[in-house]
Amino acid sequence: MPRGTLNLGILAHVDAGKTTLTERLLYSVGVIDQPGSVDEGTTQTDSLALERQRGITIKSAVVSFTVNGTTVNLIDTPGHPDFVAEVERALSVLDGVVLVVSAVEGVQPQTRILWRALQRLRVPTLFFVNKIDRRGAGYERLLGDIAGRLTQAIVPMGSVRGLGTREADFVPADKVSGSRLAEVLAEHDDAVLTAYLDDTAAMPDDWLRQKLAGQVKDMLVHPVYFGSAITGAGVDALLRGLPRLLPPADGDASGPVSGRVFKVERGVAGDKIAYARMFSGTLAVRDRVPFGRSRGGLPGRSGEVREGKVTAISVFADGTAVRRDSVTAGQIARLSGLAEIQIGDVLGTARDGTDQHYFAPPTLETAIVARDPHDKPGLHAALTQLAEQDPLINVRQDDIRQEIYVSLYGEVQKQVIEATLATEYGLETGFRGTTPICVERPVRTGTAAEVLHAPENPFLATLGIRIAPAPAGSGIAFRLEIGHQSVPLYIYKNMEGFAAAMEQYITETLRQGLYGWQVTDCTVALIRSQYSVPDGPPTTRGPLSGPQDFRKLTPLVVMAALRRAGTVVCEPVHRFRLDTPADTLNVLLPVLAKLHAVPEVSATRESWCTLEGDIPVTRVHQLRQQIPHLTRGEGVMESAFDRYEPVRGPVPTRPRTDDNPLNREEYLRRVTRRGARESLPGGLREGLRERDGARAVRDS
């Protein structure tokens, strides 16, 4: 009798052994006869040609198996920071996580980034310390590393024998009732505390295990397993722990349909296949289902809802995805037929709080060019398709300069995009320079307004906007500070509709601030609004306002407010950590200095040295490439985005690709000319408006 479903993510920094562990787990439960190898390109989850060639995971992949009656859907995620967008999508569909840490390299900057996201999302997490067979592997050191850099609330589930040798093995604690466990559990449980303090009280094993599972579920404690994905040590113990310690999926199969798409793939015929996790309800073949982004999603798409008919469903169970008539709460399925669906979309009703970003956005941008100019339209279409599969690839078309830009996390992603375009779309491409993507932060509060019927305002609307700085990392928050009597409800239906539309116009405008960069970390409040109606009181009498009036007026008001607020351009800064033999420092330090990577912290342990500091994002790749020969192949470098900081020196600007609302004359020329050209009724309307405007002035 199946006991339920556990949607489990395997997360870690690059090369920690996630894919190898996945393989081992599948082998242990008998789904495969032989564990495949990453180095030979024979694993189940690294199935893309590019993954096999490079030996790294690029896309998340789902496999499934059953252990003790629980169906485990396992999502193997990429560890390279360039592919963090994949991890982000997976995070929102998980019931639990195994966070893998290498017993040799220990906790890495990327591990900390993942950990922070797991904390924020409150996903129950176990640790698996992998590679105990490798020379240099640690046990106490690793526990100390996790406790010091991630969390104190850990419980080792056993000990290790033969550490650092091929024979290394994990010895599960036969009774969990060691004092360390009771001590940790007692912190949040009075019953355990009382029993712990009373020497004579018994603490039955089952009772403690139950308490442990309860606290794992509440993120209060994190069991730590040790093992080797290569030799299989510790893997059975982990396997047994999964259904016991992690909470299975819950959700009401007869409730309203709610699900989330975390992966989109193209089938052999180019058809879209959406991987979705159901949180509630049941979705059957031939059902029509609404999907889209809930409010708070990616800029510009908020509130958009579409609908499609599901033509086929396969549900993950027992090793593969099997054809079924329906998918129900808790399960993961591949859905066909939803042609317009995009990664990150919500199916049916959204769950609260699942639509945020947990990782920093890409910090680099490059212009991408087709080697054959005839391929240009094809290139744009292909990139748009790639962006559908990877929501954080932002494709930006600059019509004025006839260039296409893509945003990037790093060089590896760039190479992958290039290779994917070549193999999947037959497009030969090249890149023109990689530049950091800066952001602009408002420095003070700025307010501006445009008033209905004022001679310089050609639009039939009043809008007043206030922009105020907000804490770093908070993004853009939008607020309405007006009453419904000043909102044209005949256009926007209700206040929510108006708020959603205004938020969209404003977010679109803020993509290019005073210097051309995305504006962020601010609160934008709409503080005035008005519209005109033919039979209104004299001040608001005039032709009926339309949505275009609000849409086209917004950029002018936003930019005027932003100009008063002033902005400071901030550039992305990465944090690096470098473990290297101490005797390589004399060659390393001058190179670091040349790349503006100045270590601030360094620690030495025997003949090894750890350097930690900031590095400009544009230098990360160069440094990474030089590390092997500067350190005789022994140095290990990790780097990750850390923060934005005000640019020192000349302020970089980015050429605008919008209608330049910073320059009123130019903006008005562009939007009114285009309005007239695009549609005749629009043009007629402009003419009518002039006449009506004159009449309104005469009447008043």
Interface positions, 67-106, toward ligand GTP (CB under 6 A): 78-80
Given candidates 10, 11, 12, 18, which one binds Mg ion under the rule CB under 5 A?
A: 18
Report the candidate in 144, 169, 168 with the shortest Cα–Cα distance to residue 156. 144
Q: Which of 86, 95, 133, 440 binds ligand GTP (CB under 6 A)?
A: 133
Residue 584 interaction partner, one of Mg ion, ligand GTP, none, beta carbon < 5-8 Å per kind: none
DSSP secondary structure, 94-113, as one string: -SEEEEEEETTTBS-HHHHH
Q: How far is the CB of 110 from Mg ion (least distance, A)?
A: 13
Nearer to ligand GTP, 20 or 28 (CB): 20
- Site map (CB under 6 A) of ligand GTP, residues 247-286, x = contact: ----------------------------------------
Q: Which of 168, 185, 230, 278 binds ligand GTP (CB under 6 A)?
A: 230
Residue 38 binds ligand GTP (CB under 6 A)? yes
Q: How far is the CB of 412 from ligand GTP (least distance, A)?
A: 10
Q: Which two tokens stand for residue 394?
A: 């932002």
- Helices 376-389 and 411-425: crossing angle in degrees, nearest 10, is 120
State residue 576 phi and psi, 5-degree precision.
-120, 160
Q: How far is the CB of 86 from Mg ion (least distance, A)?
A: 11
Residue for token digits 């800064």?
573
**Contact positions with ligand GTP (CB under 6 A) in 297-356:** none
Partner in contact with 467, chosen from Mg ion, ligand GTP, none, beta carbon below 5 to 8 Å by kind: none
Query: CA-CA distance, 61 to 34, in Å (whole number)?
Result: 19
| Identity of the residue, 227 or 446, whose beta carbon is nearer to ligand GTP in the bound complex | 227
For residue 57, the minimal CB distance to Mg ion (Å) is: 3
β-bridge pairing 476-480 and 522-531: parallel
Three-state SS letters, 244-289: HHCCCCCCCCCCCCEEEEEEEEECCCCCEEEEEEEEECEEECCCEE
Residue of 5, 64, 111, 130 interacting with ligand GTP (CB under 6 A): 130
> Which residues, including other chains, have CB under 8 Å from residue 56's CB and lie 6 or more apart?
14, 15, 46, 78, 79, 80, 412
Q: Can residue 131 be called a binding residue for Mg ion (CB under 5 A)?
A: no
Among 18, 89, 211, 441, binds ligand GTP (CB under 6 A): 18
Interface residue with Mg ion among 5, 6, 10, 19 (CB under 5 A) is 19
Site for Mg ion in 53-82 (CB under 5 A): 57
Among 131, 272, 334, 453, the residue binding ligand GTP under the rule CB under 6 A is 131
Concatenate the DSSP letters of all residues of 24-77 into one string.
HHHHHTTSSSS---TTTT--SS--SHHHHHHTS--S-EEEEEEETTEEEEEEE-
Minimum distance from CB of 6 to ligand GTP (Å)? 20
Contact status, residue 8 vs residue 72, Cβ threshold 8 Å: yes
Query: Are 639 and 608 a contacting pair, CB within 8 Å?
Result: no
* Choice from 57, 70, 336, 512 touching ligand GTP (CB under 6 A): 57
Residue whose entry in the numeric block shows the structure tokens 């169970």: 317
Quote the least distance from Cβ 103 to ligand GTP, whole Å: 8
Q: Which of 6, 7, 9, 19 binds ligand GTP (CB under 6 A)?
A: 19
- Determine, following the binding rule CB under 6 A, whether residue 16 of this chain makes contact with ligand GTP: yes
Residue 229 touches which member of Mg ion, ligand GTP, none, C-beta under 5-8 Å by kind: ligand GTP
Query: How many CB atoms lie under 10 A from the CB of residue 607?
Result: 8
Among 8, 11, 32, 56, binds ligand GTP (CB under 6 A): 56
Are 575 and 109 in contact, with CB atoms under 8 Å apart? yes
- Site membership for Mg ion, residue 520 (CB under 5 A): no
Please give the radius of gyration of the chain, using alpha carbons only, rounded to the nearest integer.
28
Among 9, 17, 109, 259, binds ligand GTP (CB under 6 A): 17
Residue 20 found at the interface with ligand GTP (CB under 6 A): yes
Contacting residues for 366 by C-beta, under 8 A, at least 6 apart? 405, 406, 408, 414, 431, 432, 433, 434, 435
Say how far apart CA 330 and CA 3 lie, in whole Å.
12
CB atoms within 10 A of CB 106: 21
> Candidates 52-60, 103-111, 268-276, 296-304 — which segment interacts with Mg ion by CB under 5 A?
52-60
Minimum Å gap between C-beta 86 and ligand GTP is 10
Q: Among 334, 437, 324, 264, which Cα is nearest to 63's?
A: 334
Dihedral pair phi/psi, residue 25, rounded to 5° = -65, -45
Binding ligand GTP (rule: CB under 6 A), the pick from 71, 111, 215, 228 is: 228
577 binds, among ligand GTP, Mg ion, none (CB under 5 to 8 A by kind): none
Interaction site with ligand GTP (CB under 6 A): 12, 14-20, 38-39, 56-57, 78-80, 130-131, 133-134, 228-230
Interaction site with Mg ion (CB under 5 A): 18-19, 57
